[in-house]
Amino acid sequence: DLAEGKPTMPIILARQKANAADANLITEAIEQGDRTKFTDVKRIIDATGALDATIAQAHEEAKAAQAQLKALPESIYTQALAAIADIAIQRNN
Domain residue ranges of the chain, discontinuous segments joined by +: 9-48, 53-90
Q: What is the pTM of this model?
A: 0.79
Q: Alpha-carbon distance 15 to 12, whole Å? A: 5
Q: Alpha-carbon distance 56 to 51, whole Å? A: 9
**Cβ atoms within 10 A of the Cβ of 42, count?**
14
State pLDDT tens for residues 4-23.
888 899 999 999 999 999 99
Q: What is the pLDDT of residue 7?
A: 86
Q: What is the pLDDT of residue 2?
A: 78
Q: What is the pLDDT of residue 90?
A: 86
Residues in the chain: 93
Q: What is the mean pLDDT of each run of 10 residues along the chain (93 residues)?
A: 85 97 94 88 97 95 95 96 92 61
